[in-house]
Amino acid sequence: MKQERVNEEQLQPYWPLVKEMTAGREVTWLNGQKLHTYDADLPITIEDMKEAHARLRRFAPFLAHVFPETKEAGGVIESPFMEIPSMKEYLEKKHGTILEGGLYLKADHLLPVAGSVKARGGMYEVLKYAENIAMQHNLLLTEEDYSKLATDEMKTFFSNYSLAVGSTGNLGLSIGMTGAALGFQTTVHMSADAKEWKKKRLRDKGVTVIEYEEDYSQAVEEGRRMSARTKNSFFIDDEHSKELFVGYSTAALRLQKQLQEQQIIIDENHPLIVYLPCGVGGAPGGIFAGLKRVFGEHVYGFFAEPVQAPCMLLGLLTGLHDQIAVQDVGIDLRTEADGLAVGRPSSFVGKAVAPHLDGIFTVSDDKLFVYLHQMNELEGERLEPSALAGMEGPVRAKMSGWLDKQFTSSQRQNAIHLVWSTGGSLVPEKEMSAMIKKGKQLQS
Ligand SMILES: *Cc1c(COP(=O)(O)O)cnc(C)c1O
């Protein structure tokens, strides 16, 4: 499905911003299309989210069994919510500004099994598929103890089915690990950006990894084609999947509980502002839609993209969604933020978030590394480059004038700025120290 290059005339109205983007400069875009009817047209309901939450609960005994690292949490795949005051101080100093309110991190880099935000969507979709086919064959009841899915008998049953997915790395890791644990024949189609260690980790688990020299969209396209030719094969479609989206959205119910536990109130006088790294859009879109369902008009959201991969920004800005790719305007997709190295956004997600999102900003790769180093130094958290895209969000919200325009001074004082850290805990030590070193050098 190769599209024609978009012509310049179509881009004319957006030219000033697009020109900044193609010149490799960072931009901050505020969404003029935002509506104030907060829950209009979201593709998921609170019931969808609760149903997904209940399904994940049913699977918890199975997950605790096959992934020992989840045993202590009883098979619940969740991450900490923490305040990062030293990072806040650093950002204020670096940018010469004062950030009112608190700076927090949703530490999805610590999600077990996949080590990234993809644990939420990817695992959920595979588990739901497994549940469906097991039930269709009368091999499972919702009331049963799902640890029975870990038996050899069930693994043999699932080995008659195939799973496939296209990925820049992390989604493949999430789906591959879960698929292999259930016994599915799993194939991951990896784009050129995917890191070597991610491929190795999967192959070690018996997952078939097919490598492409092209970008993510190409890997997805090939994967979809091959899967369609394979009997009993299910293709997990990152660009269109509602199940992935629902899986991501459950993060909102979990966060709500964590906020309650720490007695943090979200209401008109205590706005929640989230900063989410965005690739094709599924993870940030699903999380943000879930947050909208839970916190309504009191939650605000920005997506963050690399300067070299601003696909969602280009899609939303022009309204062309997946009919435009960053390569069409001469942006080359060369970014170290492999999780975000996507040239064409999901139109499903773009259309879903367009009326709700507050803005999108882009960040240079160099800054991602500097923040990577600082997060390690100041907060002791090890994140991969993609996971740092949102870190400058509160600064952008402030410096663009958005914060002052949106809120009163007391609302700003009470604001919860939440940066979503989306991956990094499984990065091998050697690679991590090299990245930390790079960030340290870039800073000086
Ligand atoms: C995939 C990914 C994202 C973004 O998710 P999309 O669904 O592609 O938008 C962000 N950070 C990391 C580390 C990722 O792997």
Residue type, 123: M
Phi-psi region of 367 (alpha: psi -120 to 50; beta: other; left: phi over 0): alpha
282 lines ligand 1 (CB under 6 A): yes
Residue whose CB lies within 8 A of the most ligand 1 atoms, among 165, 236, 312, 340, for a mutation test:
340
| Residue 215 pLDDT class (50, 70, 90 cuts) | confident
Task: List, in order, residues 6 or more apart from 371 with CB less than 8 Å away.
Answer: 388, 391, 392, 439
- Which has the higher per-residue pLDDT, 38 or 113? 113
Q: What is the mean pLDDT of residues 20-25?
A: 96
423 lines ligand 1 (CB under 6 A): yes
- Position 3 pLDDT exceeds 80: no
Q: What is the mean pLDDT of residues 202-211?
A: 95
Q: In what order do the strands lie in the sheet with 162-167?
A: 208-211, 185-190, 162-167, 233-236
What is the C-alpha separation between 204 and 27, in angstroms, rounded?
41
- Residue 100 · residue 412 · CB < 8 Å: yes
Residue whose CB lies within 8 A of the most ligand 1 atoms, among 118, 173, 197, 244, for a mutation test:
118
What is the C-alpha separation between 377 and 370, in angstroms, rounded?
11
| Residue 2 pLDDT class (50, 70, 90 cuts) | very low
Q: What's the token pair of residue 316?
A: 């939303």
Give the CATH number of domain 8-44+70-114+243-443: 3.40.50.1100
Can you give the pLDDT at residue 5? 64
What is the C-alpha separation between 123 and 179, in angstroms, rounded?
8
Residues facing 240 on adjacent strands: none
Give the CATH number of domain 117-240: 3.40.50.1100
Lowest mean pLDDT among 33-37, 107-111, 157-161, 220-224: 33-37
Residue closest via CA to ligand 1's atom 1 equals 339
Residues facing 163 on adjacent strands: 186, 234
Stretch(es) of the chain classified as CATH 3.40.50.1100:
8-44+70-114+243-443, 117-240
What is the C-alpha separation between 121 and 3, in angstroms, rounded?
28
**Tell me: the pLDDT tens digits for 49-93?**
999 999 999 999 999 999 999 999 999 999 999 999 999 999 999
Q: What is the mean pLDDT of residues 257-280?
A: 98
Q: What is the mean pLDDT of residues 232-254?
A: 95
Can you give the pLDDT at residue 39? 65
Q: What is the mean pLDDT of residues 302-321?
A: 97
Residue whose CB lies within 8 A of the most ligand 1 atoms, among 105, 111, 117, 280, for a mutation test:
117
117 lines ligand 1 (CB under 6 A): yes
pTM above 0.75, yes or no: yes
Can you give the pLDDT at residue 34? 85
Task: List, in order, residues 6 or more apart from 343 with CB less than 8 Å away.
Answer: 215, 216, 217, 309, 311, 325, 326, 327, 331, 333
Q: How far is the CA of 109 from the centre of ligand 1 (A)?
A: 11
Residue type, 26: E
Q: What's the token pair of residue 236?
A: 């997990």
**Would you list the DSSP string of 307-343?**
TT--HHHHHHHHS-GGG--GGGGT-----S-GGG--S
- Position 246 pLDDT exceeds 70: yes
